[in-house]
């Protein structure tokens, strides 16, 4: 079982995160909710999944989202909260609206990672160190240099590159659904929904770590840190810069031996 508090401490030590890492779990139908979610008094208004995750990582809230809270059809499809009907799968529905051909939309629909329809009843999320449930995924938001450190930590033991993809939209389909379906880490360039509705910043990306790989990733962070891979990235400073000519002339004058 993952020690969530120690995992969060390690991520903050080695990555200096600006927001909470997020523990996330999809709760199956008939599965009992953790006690803290059963008595949750503040429920978010209907919103996209990415916005709910932002409430966790920026406010430190615990979030419970189900089909009734879904406003983004693509996120709802990716989580299996709604069925993939023909209107969407055929590309007939103009979603994403900026993809202008039916054929391209159909291809996006076919390739969108989708959890089994009806399998899950709830999505629960909390700051990693405060999670009172066993997470399936840990989501880490950060800048490209922080993402680099996580990639280095993955390949430290495996030697295999982190392979991911992005659509410029429905990022949750990759960093949640695909991560759960494959059991592999995912690095995602956040799409329009994340940036418009969840206020993900221009310099932020997201890295998803399946819980079963978290210990390996943390060990990789520690070991690669020990070998000199750091965040902030260590600058190379062991050189002598060439200063402007006037500075060189003055230095020569100051150190010259007077007759």
Task: Determine the average pLDDT of the residues in 155-183.
Answer: 91
> From residue 246, how far is each of 38, 72, 163, 239 by CA, in Å?
72, 62, 52, 20
Q: Examine residue 258 and state whether it is found in any structural domain, yes or no.
A: no
Q: How far is it, in rounded angstroms, from Cα 37 to Cα 43?
A: 10
Q: Examine residue 259 and state whether it is found in any structural domain, yes or no.
A: no
């590159």: which residue's tokens?
161
86 pLDDT above the threshold of 70: yes
Cβ atoms < 10 Å from Cβ of 34: 18
- Report pLDDT for 259: 61
- Report pLDDT for 248: 95
Q: Examine residue 247 and state whether it is found in any structural domain, yes or no.
A: no
Q: How far is it, in rounded angstroms, from Cα 46 to Cα 82?
A: 15
Q: Examine residue 237 and state whether it is found in any structural domain, yes or no.
A: no
Q: How far is it, in rounded angstroms, from Cα 194 to Cα 210?
A: 20
pLDDT tens per residue across span 26-70: 999 999 999 888 877 556 689 999 999 999 999 999 999 999 999
Q: Examine residue 109 and state whether it is found in any structural domain, yes or no.
A: yes
- Report pLDDT for 258: 72
Q: Examine residue 63 and state whether it is found in any structural domain, yes or no.
A: yes
The whole domain housing 208 covers 4-232
pTM: 0.91
Q: Examine residue 251 and state whether it is found in any structural domain, yes or no.
A: no
Q: Which of 208, 179, 165, 194 is nearest to 74 (CA)?
A: 194
Task: Determine the average pLDDT of the residues in 147-153.
Answer: 97
Half-sphere exposure of 200 (CA within 13 A, CB side): 29
Query: How many independent structural domains does the chain possess?
Result: 1
pLDDT tens per residue across span 65-84: 999 999 999 999 999 999 99
Cβ atoms < 10 Å from Cβ of 158: 12
- Report pLDDT for 217: 96
Q: Examine residue 243 and state whether it is found in any structural domain, yes or no.
A: no
């Amino acid at each position: 079982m993952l020690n969530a508090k120690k995992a969060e401490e390690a991520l903050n030590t080695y990555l200096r995160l600006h927001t909470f890492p997020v523990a996330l779990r999809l709760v199956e139908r008939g599965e009992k909710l953790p006690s803290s979610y059963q008595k949750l008094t503040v429920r978010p208004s209907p919103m996209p999944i990415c916005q709910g995750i932002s409430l966790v990582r920026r406010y430190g809230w615990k979030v419970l989202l189900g089909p009734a809270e879904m406003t983004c059809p693509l996120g709802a499809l990716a989580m299996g909260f709604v069925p993939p009907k023909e209107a969407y799968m055929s590309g007939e529905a103009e979603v994403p609206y900026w993809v202008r051909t039916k054929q391209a939309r159909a291809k996006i629909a076919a390739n969108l990672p989708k959890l089994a329809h009806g399998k899950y009843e709830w999505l629960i999320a909390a700051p990693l160190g405060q999670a009172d449930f066993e997470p399936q995924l840990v989501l880490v938001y950060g800048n490209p240099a922080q993402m680099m450190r996580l990639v280095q930590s993955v390949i430290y033991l495996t030697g295999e590159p982190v392979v991911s993809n992005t659509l410029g939209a429905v990022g949750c389909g990759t960093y949640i659904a695909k991560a759960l379906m494959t059991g592999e880490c995912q690095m995602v360039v956040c799409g329009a929904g994340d940036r418009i509705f969840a206020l993900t910043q221009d310099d932020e990306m997201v890295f998803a770590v399946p819980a079963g790989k978290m210990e390996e990733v943390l060990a990789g962070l520690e070991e690669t840190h020990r070998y000199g891979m750091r965040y902030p990235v260590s600058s190379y400073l062991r050189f002598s810069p060439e200063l402007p000519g006037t500075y060189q002339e003055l230095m020569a004058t100051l150190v010259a031996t007077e007759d």
